[in-house]
Amino acid sequence: MLEVADSALTAGHIATEDPYALDPGLPATKGLSELRTRGFDCAVLEGSPAERFVTTAALERCEPSAVVREVAKPITTRELIHGGAPLTHAIQRLKERRVLFVLMPGGELGICTVADLGRPAVGMIVLALILAAEAGLVTLLSESPGAQLEAEMARCLSEATCEEARGRHREKRRRNADLSLAASLTFEMRLELVRCSDDRRARLGYTSKSSVEREKKSLSRTRNELAHAGDLLSLTNGDPVQAIEEVDRVRDFADRVLRALNGGP
């Protein structure tokens, strides 16, 4: 499931085709004004095919007398990514480069920038990784026999929380769903049972109960925000660096769950 989540969406899903083009002879100050007016942070220079690009950051730093062509840089392999590359790869590339040019099917050139981290496709891939890890936690918890898991729940969760889980389980069974007790637990409940188990903490790479608690709060917040139509940039107050770090945290968590199920450290 993790492999499916990781490869279902591609760089092409966040690329904008036919990037906005600036007249290379335009004064840099006017080019900057055009980009700001349209809400863009990058443009290619007019010409076919597009070979150079300029960013608002570069236009802000340049001499007032400069023209756009003097500020622009060539598009090199460092800025290129194939449209079929996994979206997670594109996100990692945006950590190094705030702008990527996407080779789309048919040879068209698309563009994506750190502003595209707020696109639904990015939220979808992060949520999919969390859900894949969440399913993995069910498998991990289900290694304990039912009676043992019940005893752990009674020890680690409040009576009201236990009754909530039992109620969810009874309701699913009433509908003839073949659902285990572990699958009836919420994400927070599952991580709480991880927190209370020395063995599960070690298998998932946690060094303390407090580290599980911190991650439980962080991942639950991300999961709930994205599950209710939020986006990654809103979650991180518009900070693209924090947004990419959040993707890294989620991916690391999903990888650790997978390794635990496969018998790794």
Phi, psi of 264 (to 5 degrees): -85, 175
C-alpha span between 1 and 262 (Å, rounded): 14
Buried b (16+ CB within 10 A) or exposed e, 215-231: bbeebeebbebbeeebb
- C-alpha distances (whole Å) from 250 to each of 32, 76, 138 are 36, 31, 17
Enumerate residues 6+ apart whose C-beta is below 8 A from 160.
none
Q: What is the pLDDT of residues 39-57, one digit of tens each?
A: 999 999 998 778 999 999 9
pLDDT on residue 254: 94
Burial tier of 19 (Cβ tally within 10 Å: 0-12, 13-18, 19+): buried
pLDDT in tens, 227-246: 998 899 999 999 999 999 99
Q: Is the pTM of this model over 0.95?
A: no
pLDDT of the residue at 4: 65
Cis geometry, peptide bond prior to residue 49 (ω within 30 degrees of 0): yes
pLDDT of residue 2: 60
Task: Classify the C-alpha dihedral 118-122-124-129 as positive or negative.
Answer: negative
Edge-first strand listing for the sheet containing 99-103: 16-17, 109-113, 99-103, 80-82
* Radius of gyration over every alpha carbon of the chain, rounded to an integer in angstroms: 24
The ranges assigned to domains in the chain are 2-115, 121-149+191-261
The two structure tokens encoding residue 24? 């290379």
Q: For 2-115, which CATH superfamily applies? A: CBS-domain (3.10.580.10)
Task: Name the token pair of 241.
Answer: 């660096």
Average pLDDT, the chain: 92
Regions of the chain with pLDDT less than 50: none
CB-CB contact of 72 with 91 (8 Å) = no
Percent of the chain with pLDDT over 70: 95
**pLDDT tens figures, 165-176:** 999 888 888 887
pLDDT for residue 173? 81
